[in-house]
Amino acid sequence: MSSPKANLEILPRGVQIALGLGLVALLAFPWVGTDFYTQMVTRMLIMAIFAMSLDLLQGVTGLVSLGHAAYFGLAGYALAFLMPQDAAVSLWWTLPVAVLASALAALIIGFFVVRTHGIYFIMVTMAFAQMVFFLFFDNKILGGSDGLYINFKPSAQVFGFTLFDLENKITFYYVTLVLALLVYVFLRRLLWSPLGRALSGIRINEHRMKAMGFGTFGYKLTAFTIAGGLAGLAGYLWGAQSGFVNPELMGFHMSAHAIMMVILGGMGNFAGAFVGAFTFEYVLHVLKDLPTLQMFGKDINLGKHWQLWMGTFIVLVVIFAPRGLMGLAERFLQKREYPKGNSK
């Protein structure tokens, strides 16, 4: 993890082509897929934004946050508070407000957590997320354990003219796709910017970065805040799409799922997080939908025990593919490109 090459910051040609084909498939999907699957892929795109935002911390900066879901959920709640019971509220100001709310929370919590290292960082991010979780869980005014409903989709009106209608599922899909691509492009640019280079430097050797005169605290806090804001973007979309928010969105399982998505794809290049989010959500869908089998004279519903399969899947990935799908792809491609082993 600490070696610079391990992250595959420059994507091999083969992976680039595969990503391009994937993009074409995503653009064409609503014409092929049913309503159900279009919504599912929308959900995957939202999770991809969430996973990419975490990758900025986990893969690029080397900060493993086990509380990233807090910022995801906060923006969803922000939308729920801003949306009146009887009318749709404008997208144009609620989206920035929700994203800023998440970024602000990340800035405040980040102020405490980025001064810690390694395992402390893991534990402290988790504890602070839990604090946010209980704030919403314990207070009836904030929705309590049941959460809140969002009755309408945000409206995208400009001077009384509806630019696009988010109530339409296919429109929602394309808006989410465009936002996910923008986030990807933004983060890829950021990766190669001076800020991104400094963050990579912090992952590889923070002491040396300090010795070179970089104020690493400020850099890490900046990364934490940006990641929190982008997680907020994903949370806003999640709230808008599903029409409700509950404390589970900020829970420990959500945070751990995001880590898993980033690992599953491959860290530090954002494409991996994108692919990982799709794979993880798909695996989750398949496992929850497993059939009921006749075994030992009893009906055994395999889907009901999805946690068992999910747990086993996670353990197997950690044991056998700790560098994720991108790592596997890289190994496969390298063998193909340099068959005689003269790559040195």
List interacting residues with other proteins (CB under 8 A). Answer: 1, 58, 64, 66, 112-113, 115-116, 118-120, 122-124, 126-128, 130-131, 134-135, 137-139, 252, 256, 259-260, 263, 305, 307-308, 310-315, 317-319, 322
The 3-state secondary structure of 217-272 reads HHHHHHHHHHHHHHHHHHHHHHHHHHCEECHHHHCHHHHHHHHHHHHHHCCCCCHH
Give pairs for 204-213: CB < 8 Å, separation 24+. Answer: 204/2, 204/3, 204/4, 204/62, 205/2
Report the Cα 22 to chain-centroid distance in Å: 18
Nearer to other proteins, 25 or 308 (CB): 308
Closest distance of CB 307 from other proteins, Å: 4
Closest distance of CB 240 from other proteins, Å: 28
Nearer to other proteins, 82 or 221 (CB): 221
Closest distance of CB 314 from other proteins, Å: 3
Which residues have CB under 8 Å from 101's CB, separation 6+? 74, 75, 78, 232
Closest distance of CB 249 from other proteins, Å: 16
Nearer to other proteins, 182 or 316 (CB): 316
Round to whole Å and give the CA distance between 33 and 16. Answer: 25
**Signed CA dihedral, 150, 276, 309, 317: sign only:** negative
Residue 255's nearest CA partner among 226, 235, 279 is 235
Closest distance of CB 112 from other proteins, Å: 5
Closest distance of CB 152 from other proteins, Å: 31
Nearer to other proteins, 73 or 154 (CB): 73
Nearer to other proteins, 24 or 119 (CB): 119
The 3-state secondary structure of 197-219 reads HHHHHHHHHHHHHHHCCCCHHHH
